[in-house]
Amino acid sequence: MNRQLDLQAISRSFERVALNNNWQALHTPQNLASAISVEAAELLRLFQWSGTRDGQAVPTANAVAEELADLVMYINALADVLDIDLVDAVAEKCSHNEVRFLNE
């Protein structure tokens, strides 16, 4: 499973849905950052109390995948609005982390 995300396709899909529902004006940096926070909380909610006691179910992979997908879409949309090249940003952050945490 070595596929790559097509961020441009994600952007096009996100924009089509926004246009269809007249949501473009709502996609401000602040609103998108808020949506990221909400989706992260929804992901966390899936794990709240899971596995802490007998009978507490671990969330399904499908439920987790749905929340992760929402996060990726909103993060990508925020990068688009702020004209951030997400591929470059992630690559730079990975490089920074390797220098910081592997070269001690």
Q: Are the CB atoms for 23 and 17 separated by under 8 Å?
A: yes
Q: Cα–Cα distance between 25 and 81 in angstroms, integer?
A: 11
- Tell me the pLDDT tens digit for each residue of 42-59: 999 999 887 766 666 788
Give the pTM. Answer: 0.89
* Residuewise pLDDT in 10s, the chain (104 residues): 678 999 999 999 999 999 999 999 999 999 999 999 999 999 999 998 877 666 667 889 999 999 999 999 999 999 999 999 999 999 999 999 999 999 76
Q: Are 63 and 46 in contact (CB under 8 A)?
A: yes
